[in-house]
Amino acid sequence: MSDDETGRSVGPAEPPKNARRRAIVFVLAAVACGLVITGALAVRDALRIARDVRAGRAAFHAIARDAFSANGSLTARTAAATAILTRAEREARDSIWLGGWSHVPLLGQPARWLRGTTASLVGLARVASDVANTIEPRLSTAGDPSGRLALIDTVSSEFIRLQTAVDAVHIPSTGWFLPPVDSADGQLRTELKRIRGQIGNVLVGARGIRSLLAGPTTYLVLAANNAEMRAGGMVLQAGTVYAAGGQIVPGPFLSTGELALKKAVAVPSEIKTLYGWLDPGAEWRNTDSSPNFPAVAPIYAAMAEHRADLSRRGSTIDGVIQLDVYALHRLLGVVGPVEVGGRRYASWNVERLVMHDLYVSYGSVRPEIVARHRELGRLAEATFSALSHRHWDPRALLKALADAGGGRHLLVWSNRPDEAAAWSRLGVDGALRREGLMVTIQNHSGNKLDWFLRTTMTVGTRRLRDGHTRVTLTIAITNPTPPNQPLYVTGDGSIVPPGTYRAFVAVYLPGWATDVELAGGRTLIVGPDGPMRVIGTRIDVGRTETMNVVVTFDAPPNARIQLLPSGRIPPMTVDVRGKQLDDAKPRAIGL
């Protein structure tokens, strides 16, 4: 120790090496602190911008999903979403914290993702807004024949522009270490993939619809009544619609009971093997015993071409449309009520009128039956005439058709490639699926009891040692027909006692199903139908009775089943391990 000039004690001098080390530590601590602070501020901005990206991606999702069926203003929705993305892009560009981090190798990946992605999305959103601004004002012209074609052409050209903008979106890598940004990235990439598919659907659908409306095309229209079920409603009325230049001209609709052919047209071998005993190809009311519409529709087209009273000027049938009472209900909800024979048919009463009340009103003697058939034919004509001449909202029509098609209440087939592709993309082609499961309960009793019938199916599973699953379907058919119904509704007793429902139960199983067994009745049909397998029986269900049919089969490991609609009104109730569903639309069932 030594004293300085003031007399204070002074320690030994600090070595220069320790001082440098302390300075380095201090500088590193300051840099680390700065990095933490700027990093935290950058993460704050990143989280906010990522939230905006998730919210704003609706700009291009809404227009492709709802080009015709948006509820409310499509232009306003896309404009609002564009504003959100523009704000996100501005924040990403102006944030000094993200700007600094964007120059850092590796750790700056999330910042670069935010800046690059938001800039790209703003460009896409602006195109989407332009597309909405172009399309939406023209939607009101769809009620006019020439306006329909012009609208379709506008939609096609605008969606090609939108498709180009989507393909131009560039999304950089996030670096995969900031979860919120990674989540936004994953959602956005999924959304872009979905949007590409939706744009493709719109373009294919628009091309097919334009082909039909521009024509000249002749479609056979089959009006099916769910009061007497086949694989859908029984086809009781048939007519044609002729389209050209956007105009739709319906022809007369005739009772199929008067259209039977003396000689059946050719039918596919599978349908002949399964349903040949029901005379498909000659008897219109039995030809749709199979739900395989791509196979059934050409049979109907050939049958119509053999009837001069259906074929327009000897022209060929280009396509077939089958719609039932539910589809009629949805169409009337779009075009409005129609008057037929002093009776007002509207969306809220058409199901009960057609499936029950008309049978009560007209009775069962021959002249009354003929009069009822004529009224049903005029109802179909009036509905298509309203569709042709009235102004309606194309968004509402597309939504109604999609809903009816999803439940197999509307089925469409065409032998023209563009139209066939459109019906397939729009999900109304009625094609069966290899993984599908469908239960058709068909009326073989000569009565109109489907209005009252209630059907349920319970799905049970049991895991087998080899990894397969044993699936048990218990199908319960309940006949709660009330007393005091007229004989035309309950049946006159010539086939089964009045009030008894003779059910032909055809169970369509996945094509991969093995070891199939049926209990509850004698096996009546068995074999392949398209990509699926079918097994069926026939049982009688008396008034107030419930009868069961049980079908079991093996499913391979990891199999999934797609429950397909049967077209019943009301739909079949389905219980899957205690979870209540129905078959009103396709549903995935996990095993």
pLDDT reported for residue 367: 77
Based on the fold, state whether residues 82 and 97 are members of the same structural domain: yes
pLDDT reported for residue 128: 75
Is the pLDDT score of 141 beyond 50? yes
Q: Which domain holds residue 445?
A: 436-590
Strand, helix or coil for residue 177 = coil
Name the residue with higher pLDDT: 98 or 411.
411
Based on the fold, state whether residues 166 and 231 are members of the same structural domain: no
**CATH at residue 293:** 3.40.630
Per-residue pLDDT band for 87 (boundaries 50, 70, 90) equals low
Based on the fold, state whether residues 204 and 221 are members of the same structural domain: no
Name the residue with higher pLDDT: 192 or 588.
588
Closest CA to 155 of 207, 218, 83: 207
Whether 11 maps to a domain, the answer reads: no
Name the residue with higher pLDDT: 179 or 68.
179
Based on the fold, state whether residues 342 and 447 are members of the same structural domain: no
Whether 8 maps to a domain, the answer reads: no
Based on the fold, state whether residues 185 and 284 are members of the same structural domain: no
What is the widest separation between alpha-carbon atoms in the chain?
A: 136
Per-residue pLDDT band for 374 (boundaries 50, 70, 90) equals confident
Whether 431 maps to a domain, the answer reads: no
| End-of-domain residue from the set 425, 458, 475 | 425
| End-of-domain residue from the set 359, 390, 425 | 425
Whether 430 maps to a domain, the answer reads: no
Based on the fold, state whether residues 48 and 133 are members of the same structural domain: yes
Based on the fold, state whether residues 121 and 237 are members of the same structural domain: no
pLDDT reported for residue 100: 46
Give the integer Cα–Cα distance in Å for 76 and 415: 40
Per-residue pLDDT band for 72 (boundaries 50, 70, 90) equals very low
Based on the fold, state whether residues 159 and 244 are members of the same structural domain: no
pLDDT > 70 fraction of the chain, expressed in percent and rounded: 75
Residues 341/375, Cβ–Cβ less than 8 Å: yes
Whether 257 maps to a domain, the answer reads: yes
Lowest mean pLDDT among 77-91, 232-246, 250-264: 77-91
Residue type, 88: A
Based on the fold, state whether residues 348 and 484 are members of the same structural domain: no
* Mean pLDDT confidence for 227-239: 92
Please provide the average confidence, as pLDDT, over all residues in the chain.
Answer: 81
Based on the fold, state whether residues 540 and 577 are members of the same structural domain: yes
Whether 1 maps to a domain, the answer reads: no
Is the pLDDT score of 561 beyond 80? yes
Based on the fold, state whether residues 371 and 484 are members of the same structural domain: no
The number of distinct structural domains making up the chain is: 3
For residue 520, what is the DSSP state?
A: S
pTM given for the model: 0.80
Three-state SS for 18-69 is HHHHHHHHHHHHHHHHHHHHHHHHHHHHHHHHHHHHHHHCHHHHHHHHCCCC
| End-of-domain residue from the set 159, 186, 213 | 213
pLDDT reported for residue 101: 47
Based on the fold, state whether residues 233 and 272 are members of the same structural domain: yes
Residue type, 520: G
Whether 7 maps to a domain, the answer reads: no
Number of CB atoms found within 10 A of residue 356's CB: 18
For residue 143, what is the DSSP state?
A: G
Lowest mean pLDDT among 36-40, 221-225, 442-446: 36-40
Whether 299 maps to a domain, the answer reads: yes
pLDDT > 90 fraction of the chain, expressed in percent and rounded: 43
